[in-house]
Amino acid sequence: MRESVTNDTNQKELVKRFCSVRDESLAIIEPLTVEDCQLQAMADASPTKWHLAHTTWFFETFLLSVHCKHYAVFNPHYKMLFNSYYNGIGEQFKRANRGSLSRPGLDEVLAYREYVDSRVIELLKTDVDPHIKDIIELGLNHEQQHQELMLMDIKYNFSVNPLFPQYKTSLLNSQKKSADIKPLNFINFEQAIINIGTNADDEFAYDNECPKHQVLIHPFSFANRLVTNGEYLDFINAGGYSNPQYWLSDGWAHIQNSRLTHPLYMHCINNEWFEFTHYGLQPLNLSAPISHVSYFEASAYANFVKARLPTEFEWEYAAKNTPLTDTNNNYLTPQQAKDDTEINQLTDSCWQWTNSAYLPYPGFKPIEGVAGEYNGKFMNNQMVLRGGCVFTPQNHLRQTYRNFYYPHQAWMCSGIRLAKDIV
Amino acid sequence: MRESVTNDTNQKELVKRFCSVRDESLAIIEPLTVEDCQLQAMADASPTKWHLAHTTWFFETFLLSVHCKHYAVFNPHYKMLFNSYYNGIGEQFKRANRGSLSRPGLDEVLAYREYVDSRVIELLKTDVDPHIKDIIELGLNHEQQHQELMLMDIKYNFSVNPLFPQYKTSLLNSQKKSADIKPLNFINFEQAIINIGTNADDEFAYDNECPKHQVLIHPFSFANRLVTNGEYLDFINAGGYSNPQYWLSDGWAHIQNSRLTHPLYMHCINNEWFEFTHYGLQPLNLSAPISHVSYFEASAYANFVKARLPTEFEWEYAAKNTPLTDTNNNYLTPQQAKDDTEINQLTDSCWQWTNSAYLPYPGFKPIEGVAGEYNGKFMNNQMVLRGGCVFTPQNHLRQTYRNFYYPHQAWMCSGIRLAKDIV
Amino acid sequence: MRESVTNDTNQKELVKRFCSVRDESLAIIEPLTVEDCQLQAMADASPTKWHLAHTTWFFETFLLSVHCKHYAVFNPHYKMLFNSYYNGIGEQFKRANRGSLSRPGLDEVLAYREYVDSRVIELLKTDVDPHIKDIIELGLNHEQQHQELMLMDIKYNFSVNPLFPQYKTSLLNSQKKSADIKPLNFINFEQAIINIGTNADDEFAYDNECPKHQVLIHPFSFANRLVTNGEYLDFINAGGYSNPQYWLSDGWAHIQNSRLTHPLYMHCINNEWFEFTHYGLQPLNLSAPISHVSYFEASAYANFVKARLPTEFEWEYAAKNTPLTDTNNNYLTPQQAKDDTEINQLTDSCWQWTNSAYLPYPGFKPIEGVAGEYNGKFMNNQMVLRGGCVFTPQNHLRQTYRNFYYPHQAWMCSGIRLAKDIV
Amino acid sequence: MRESVTNDTNQKELVKRFCSVRDESLAIIEPLTVEDCQLQAMADASPTKWHLAHTTWFFETFLLSVHCKHYAVFNPHYKMLFNSYYNGIGEQFKRANRGSLSRPGLDEVLAYREYVDSRVIELLKTDVDPHIKDIIELGLNHEQQHQELMLMDIKYNFSVNPLFPQYKTSLLNSQKKSADIKPLNFINFEQAIINIGTNADDEFAYDNECPKHQVLIHPFSFANRLVTNGEYLDFINAGGYSNPQYWLSDGWAHIQNSRLTHPLYMHCINNEWFEFTHYGLQPLNLSAPISHVSYFEASAYANFVKARLPTEFEWEYAAKNTPLTDTNNNYLTPQQAKDDTEINQLTDSCWQWTNSAYLPYPGFKPIEGVAGEYNGKFMNNQMVLRGGCVFTPQNHLRQTYRNFYYPHQAWMCSGIRLAKDIV
């Protein structure tokens, strides 16, 4: 589809990677209708079309408009329409109304992508300085984040439709039968002073993972796998949603106000449990990890079983001490662990709520310039999730990766990893 | 497209009329993209696609499911998805979320229309009793109401898009130049006891127009034409939106809370006034009737010029004494009146707010059965509008027609007719 | 307490009436603690202390400050603090926050009353022109309205306290035993053209009752008494609050959103029905009129029994044809009617919802000047109630009196009078 | 007022301390009217009367009802009325409605205090086990917290009154003239592993300060004093409230939605700045610490001056390295520091926002039993403040004390301590 004539091998590689990541976004929309691409069933769940345009706007705004001589923007209105939250760039179209834009249509957005892609590839045929490569790298990681968001948002946007549409039409065999599941086991970790985060010297990392710094870890134990749907059902059946003793005060208020009696995508129909998935409504797989739970739910469940959530530092420590054999190709199925002493499901199932607030590391500095709004300004009232999930693109993850959501949110693929103090 | 072999001339006529009305709905969507048809920018402004399906559901639910032997519903989910507000039929999909349904897609909805249409036409090939014809007549009038709603809703749904999309692309010549406008004049009417409403003996009428009954009218005078944009601008420029003295208490609260400083579709850009229309953003035509004003705005303007709004009875009285020369083919342009003693713009420009609350006539009886929810249950907190507007289908109107909206609403094509007491 | 030396007999009478009405407000607060007088449990239910100050402010603002030479206001802040809604006077302290004013204390407000009273009495010792007497008359009627409001508001403000405080401590004997109750009967009225309203020539009347004008009445029948608690319980027990068919659309939405299953002050405790009253929580008197119902509830009940509410014109017509033997000294007890052909409970029990929207009469003109905000600006979305209730001061009522509330409100003493069409 | 005949010296001391703390609450209400004691101008700012009753309820519920044989509760309704948030005890009267309770009156609440006090003192005349002393100690610390809340809440409840009532009527001389103020200076601290928190072995501490544990601190510098009103005005004057670049995303949304342009109690009148205080409206003291700022404001200011807020661990480290010469008897006036190398205003001016989320320490265990709801369930979405303020009772503070509020709250006496990374 695109070709490159740059001599610099490095830049050739970058073009290849650029094309590959950009193509991945298009692959995501293949099963969707034009109408599907415009859905926005809540403020948080942007239309697929908007994601396609916004990730393109990112390259246009931070790369082409700044570093490409004589660049003519595709459409001057897009500056505002597809700006997510960058006050430094200017006004933004109201987030909750993104689904109210039928124009530009999907075709025009795809043309916008082609236009910007060809300019970026053109630019990479010339000798560019390292700073430009950094912006492209940031843009590609940004696009991968949005690929995960697209899959989350499609799931949510479909979920409000009583027809329970299917995003993917065939269910893998592995899905259909319940996998073997290892007994829950807690692995002990000693007290230690460890390095947390990264300086992003060699490998790309977001500013919020930096700088690398020492943290003193107290002795703790860490669950070998995630909590399953079956285990979580025990909590529901024991009256977990009607007993305030397990819940944070804000969490109890939240489930009362929203009249919640189970996680977001679970449905109890004629006394049988189902789960809304990308494959439509499916019987609940009891041995699969519970997913799409809020921090409030994760914390209440941990209280119920007299455990707690790990801190993000404990999680990183445990992850760094675990051979990363996880692969990213199962779909909501627990990976087969060799035995229950091996830590599993670190990155391939669900993001894992930690008990750490999303706050700056000591010495944190936002990226310079307007892109500095990327991470830092959200360091408030959100909790860190670690790991990765089935929606996360391959090679997007790192052990130091910090994801973050508000405690009440549940439309991302979030699960529960337990931990305990050792006393 | 469809053909009929019924022998009964009356039924043949009905089939013809059925096909013609149903086709009109399809004509409306011709300029729209698939994505346009799914827009819902506020709870009140349903997606075009939903209108297409709901008007079909009306025939399926009240006609075919009841009176057509062996009728198989097109899709059992539609019973709930496309039920607007009939509690007697069962649950309804949440109104504000209609825009969150990408499935069924437009294609499937069009297939639904074909399926139902062919069954209705089939039914009309047989001898049917008069009650069935009444239901079809009700369904066609219902569809015509929704045709007006589609045009109103498209306008609103487009209006939140900063690109100001055009529903129609070419502007008629008559639009481009300001029409001659007759001076405002008040025509006097004597005290009288007159018949109001109808018994729907010969011609179709909604239950809310019945029964015909006597009303005592006090002497009044009635404006020969609607208030123009230019006249309304005088109100704005005189500080009308910052002076509570002109406003109803609820109206003042409304414009304060919503921070309104002008009617819904007016835009002041660099000190020039524009108006959002089906043709996109256009310079404000000063001699055209002010449109898309709320009852609060209409009432405040009337106070400003020391007049008042007519009652719905005064309106009907005046209309019945005016030769109906209005035609429905101008677009937001005041019709050329012969002179200023002729009452004009009764049905061809904007609906006209009256100062009558929407309440039952003496002896009012809702239609029997579930369709009785059509009108009666809305007789609360709404005001009657009389006349008709540029969006109203031809031959849908009657002098006894009662339209009704909440006092704060303005997305319908509503204007201002003034009246005065004679003392 | 106060004395007058005016020579003009008329003015002497006015002073006497002034003192008598003003004293009545003080009598109302006798059973209250200082803390009670400051309660405001919802925006609508102003503190007693605020009523005491506001009614005084009315005389200060519209009488003394305008017509009394060298008048020095008691406290310049009161102009804003005790202005209810007169934009013509200036800014108003936020209504919902009136309960947040501990200062001025009750003592200071009582001193304010004394201060203003003595100035008014002083003024009436001089020869004053008729306009001034009109303002005083308006002020006294205004105060009487607030006396009713005080009793309504105290009831509401006490009702949210789980201790169910008693405003009055002993229950009259007449309260304790259920009164005899006549069978429900409908009295027929012929078609007629009658005079509605008044010109306020001899007797005081509000501007909204003027001018006297003719209305054509259609044949109707009118219930001889109000609906009782016992009859309303039948509606509740028949599932009235869970069946949308009886309700206006807005009414159904209201009871769903507010999760109402019975009228405001009714309590079902261990399967027995109680009612919160000025005497605390009392067993529900089945033969007493149902009270504190919203228009939505009144309308739904009327549908349930296949009747309707009367229009305000029908009510006035029936009242004018009924010898007014009602006295105002029973407390929520139905008056003993001679037989079931006599219309009863017109003014001594509960205000009666009509099916008439609160709108201007033909030829309506607000009072001149700022006091013109008294009535006219509220003519929107409210329904007229006719009659009077146990809280209404003696000699405050007229057959032409128009009370008005929003359809969802129920904290005033509102009941249900049924009517029917005659066909 | 009360006397004790216990033999155990320890218990005698406890009785003395009990009486002294309980008396302090009564001292706080001395300047208040009965009406003042009932004010609740927002959900957060409970009535003084409620605080007086709730702190008494605490002793009745957790001490007397459990450990005192034959104890008869003062009033069975109080169990619910004065329960703040203990689900383990049962239902709670709705927090936002506390101001809607005129009954029990202040007199009755004071009688309740006497009743409970005498029972507690009686109990302490007998030999009681250490657990009971612990409960009393908790109850006294609880009461001291509420004494601070009473002063905060009175300030807020008075602040909405346009009369700007004075809680205290004379202004100390020290208030009237601007104190000398030392230049802002940053004191350096080395990297260290330090003990944070306490095990509450000898001295009382809340569960949230436990257990004592090691934390690794990175090099940082710490401001010698708090930010002043004058310095904060620079931020306002530089457009701080209209420039999103300084603000957290949630903070920017908050000040936009609430239309904030300055801190809660600041007023700009005719271009001069004033501050609402316990002494009424006063000219803003430019050298006094800025107070009543939200976390959002504190964080934005820190960004503005290219500094940051300290973590709670840095604060504790700095405090433990500073001789505590602070005294608690100045009122919003910066203490005279010897020179700018001395850290000042640690506990005697304003609580200091830290950049630490309120989360459990490693090994945290809530108090056993129902009182375990005291702290743990609030560990969500709140930020830690350290230090103390002019409203805090003497001897209530510790270096390990953790106060916590939501980021948008500002009615507590909160100020800004700056810190910086050392790189």
DSSP-derived letter for residue C64 is I
Query: What does the pLDDT profile of chain D (423 residues) look like in tens digits?
Result: 344 445 578 889 999 999 999 999 999 999 999 999 999 999 999 999 999 999 999 999 999 999 999 999 999 999 999 999 999 999 999 999 999 999 999 999 999 999 999 999 999 999 899 999 999 999 999 999 999 999 999 999 999 999 999 999 865 544 444 456 889 999 999 999 999 999 988 889 999 999 999 999 999 999 999 999 999 999 999 999 999 999 999 999 999 999 999 999 999 999 999 999 999 999 999 999 999 999 999 999 999 999 999 999 999 999 998 865 544 433 333 345 566 778 999 998 999 999 999 999 999 999 888 888 989 999 999 999 999 999 999 889 999 999 999 999 999 999 999 999 997
DSSP track, D382-418: -EEEES--TTSPTT---TT--EEE-TT--SS-EE---
Nearest to C161 among D101, D157, D158 (CB): D101
Cβ neighbors of A146 (< 8 A, separation 6 or more) are: A25, A51, A54, A55
DSSP-derived letter for residue C367 is P
Return d(Cα A384, Cα D379) in angstroms, integer.
15
Encoded tokens for C304: 């349930």
Query: Are chains C and B in contact at 3+ CB pairs closer than 8 Å?
Result: yes
Q: How many CB atoms are closer than 10 A to CB A129?
A: 8
Band the pLDDT of A329: cuts 50, 70, 90.
very low
Q: D: neighbours with 3+ CB pairs under 8 Å?
A: A, C
Nearest to C357 among B213, B249, B357 (CB): B357
* Residues of chain A contacting residue D360, judged by C-beta atoms under 8 Å apart: 308, 355
Phi, psi of A331 (to 5 degrees): -120, 100
Return d(Cα C197, Cα C208) in angstroms, integer.
9
* The predicted structure's pLDDT at residue C341: 79
DSSP track, A38-74: G--SSTTS--HHHHHHHHHHHHIIIIIHHHSTTPPPS
Band the pLDDT of A1: cuts 50, 70, 90.
very low
SS3 percent helix, strand, coil of chain D, rounded to 5, is: 40, 15, 50
Q: C: neighbours with 3+ CB pairs under 8 Å?
A: B, D
Encoded tokens for A259: 């009249």
* The predicted structure's pLDDT at residue D338: 60
Q: Which residues of A touch D (CB under 8 A)?
A: 85, 87-88, 193, 213-216, 218, 220, 244-245, 247-252, 295-296, 308, 355-357, 359-360, 362-363, 377-381, 407, 421, 423
Q: Provide the shortest C-alpha distance from residue D167 to chain C (in Å).
A: 12
Q: How many CA atoms lie within 13 A of B343 on its CB side?
A: 23
Residue B289: pLDDT over 90? yes
* Residues of chain A contacting residue D248, judged by C-beta atoms under 8 Å apart: 377-380
Nearest to B423 among C245, C363, C380 (CB): C363
* The predicted structure's pLDDT at residue C324: 54
Instruction: Report chain B's mean pLDDT, rounded to a whole number.
Output: 92
Nearest to A378 among D249, D308, D381 (CB): D249
Give the mean pLDDT of A263-275.
97
| Beta bridge mates, A187 | A222
Do A162 and B80 make contact, defined as CB atoms within 8 angstroms?
Answer: yes
| Test the B interface: residue of C85, C217, C249, C297 with most B CBs within 10 Å | C249
Encoded tokens for D349: 């001016």
Q: Which residue of D has its CA nearest to C96?
A: D41
Q: Collapsing DSSP states into helix, strand and coil, what is residue A275? A: strand
Kindly report, residue by residue over A178-214, the tens digit of the pLDDT. Answer: 456 889 999 999 999 999 999 988 889 999 999 999 9
> Which residue, B328, B390, B378, B352, is CA-closest to B147?
B390
Tokens 């008014």 correspond to what residue?
C120
Host H or E run for residue D221 = strand D220-223
Nearest to B379 among C213, C220, C248 (CB): C248
> Which residue, A133, A176, A305, A115, is CA-closest to A228?
A305
Q: Which residue of D has its CA nearest to A373?
A: D245
DSSP-derived letter for residue A309 is P
Encoded tokens for A295: 């921090």
Return d(Cα B63, Cα B65) in angstroms, integer.
6
Nearest to A162 among B81, B105, B163 (CB): B81
Q: How many CB atoms are closer than 10 A to CB A67?
A: 15
Nearest to C363 among B88, B216, B421 (CB): B421
* Residues of chain A contacting residue D298, judged by C-beta atoms under 8 Å apart: none
DSSP-derived letter for residue A245 is G
Higher-scoring residue by pLDDT: A165, C179? A165
> Which residue, A416, A412, A414, is CA-closest to A151?
A412
> Which residue, C298, C288, C309, C290, is CA-closest to C255?
C298
* The predicted structure's pLDDT at residue A7: 58
Encoded tokens for C415: 């009941």
Cβ neighbors of D49 (< 8 A, separation 6 or more) are: D37, D38, D106, D109
Nearest to C251 among B252, B362, B380 (CB): B380
- Give ∠ CA B23-B25-B28 in degrees, rounded to 5: 115
Do B378 and C249 make contact, defined as CB atoms within 8 angstroms?
Answer: yes
Query: Are chains C and A in contact at 3+ CB pairs closer than 8 Å?
Result: no
> Which residue, A300, A282, A173, is CA-closest to A227?
A300
Return d(Cα A275, Cα A331) in angstroms, integer.
14
Do D377 and A249 make contact, defined as CB atoms within 8 angstroms?
Answer: yes
Encoded tokens for A363: 């010495």
> Which residue, B37, B118, B34, B35, is CA-closest to B74?
B118
CA distances from D382 to A296, B34, D337, D378, D408 (A): 14, 46, 32, 8, 9
* Residues of chain C contacting residue B247, judged by C-beta atoms under 8 Å apart: 377
Do B106 and A35 make contact, defined as CB atoms within 8 angstroms?
Answer: yes
Q: Provide the shortest C-alpha distance from residue C162 to chain D (in Å).
A: 8
Q: Which residue of A has its CA nearest to D213?
A: A218
Query: Are chains B and D in contact at 3+ CB pairs closer than 8 Å?
Result: no
Q: Collapsing DSSP states into helix, strand and coil, what is residue C123? A: helix
* The predicted structure's pLDDT at residue C172: 52
Check if the beta carbon of residue C421 is closer than 8 Å to that of residue C218: yes
Nearest to C381 among B87, B193, B407 (CB): B407
* The predicted structure's pLDDT at residue A79: 96
Host H or E run for residue D130 = helix D130-159
Strands C414-415 and C403-405: unpaired
DSSP track, D22-74: HHHHHHHHTT--TTGGG--SSTTS--HHHHHHHHHHHHIIIIIHHHSTTPPPS
Q: Which alpha helices (DSSP H) does A162-291 contain, by range?
A: 173-176, 229-237, 249-257
* The predicted structure's pLDDT at residue D335: 45
Strands A186-189 and A220-223: antiparallel
Phi, psi of C221 (to 5 degrees): -125, 155
Return d(Cα D214, Cα D202) in angstroms, integer.
19
> Which residue, C173, C181, C400, is CA-closest to C290?
C181
Higher-scoring residue by pLDDT: A230, B176? A230
DSSP track, D89-115: T-----GGGGGG---S-HHHHHHHHHH
Encoded tokens for B17: 């009329």
Host H or E run for residue C221 = strand C220-223
Return d(Cα C55, Cα C149) in angstroms, integer.
12
Residue B6: pLDDT over 90? no
- Top CATH class of A186-421 equals alpha beta
| Test the D interface: residue of A359, A374, A377, A405 with most D CBs within 10 Å | A377
With pLDDT > 90 as the criterion, what percentage of chain A qualifies? Answer: 84
How many residues does this entry show for chain D?
423
Do A380 and D218 make contact, defined as CB atoms within 8 angstroms?
Answer: no
| Residues of chain C with confidence (pLDDT) below 70 | 1-7, 170-180, 323-339
Kindly report, residue by residue over A362-421, the tens digit of the pLDDT. Answer: 999 998 888 889 899 999 999 999 999 999 998 899 999 999 999 999 999 999 999 999
Encoded tokens for C420: 């029917």
* Residues of chain D contacting residue C163, judged by C-beta atoms under 8 Å apart: 77, 81, 103-104
pTM as predicted:
0.94
CA distances from D232 to D240, D281, D300, D385 (A): 10, 19, 11, 19
CA distances from D229 to A10, B129, B270, D252, D385 (A): 55, 85, 40, 21, 19
| Test the A interface: residue of D249, D368, D383 with most A CBs within 10 Å | D249
Q: Provide the shortest C-alpha distance from residue A421 to chain D (in Å).
A: 6
Q: A: neighbours with 3+ CB pairs under 8 Å?
A: B, D
Higher-scoring residue by pLDDT: B10, B296? B296
Kindly report, residue by residue over B232-271, the tens digit of the pLDDT. Answer: 999 999 999 999 999 999 999 999 999 999 999 999 999 9
Do B379 and C193 make contact, defined as CB atoms within 8 angstroms?
Answer: no
DSSP track, C324-350: ----S--SS-----SSTTS---SSSS-
Query: Are chains C and D in contact at 3+ CB pairs closer than 8 Å?
Result: yes
* Residues of chain A contacting residue D216, judged by C-beta atoms under 8 Å apart: 193, 214-216
Check if the beta carbon of residue D65 is closer than 8 Å to that of residue D186: no
Do B99 and A99 make contact, defined as CB atoms within 8 angstroms?
Answer: yes
Do D161 and C38 make contact, defined as CB atoms within 8 angstroms?
Answer: no
How many residues does this entry show for chain A?
423
Return d(Cα D308, Cα D223) in angstroms, integer.
10
Residue B69: pLDDT over 50? yes
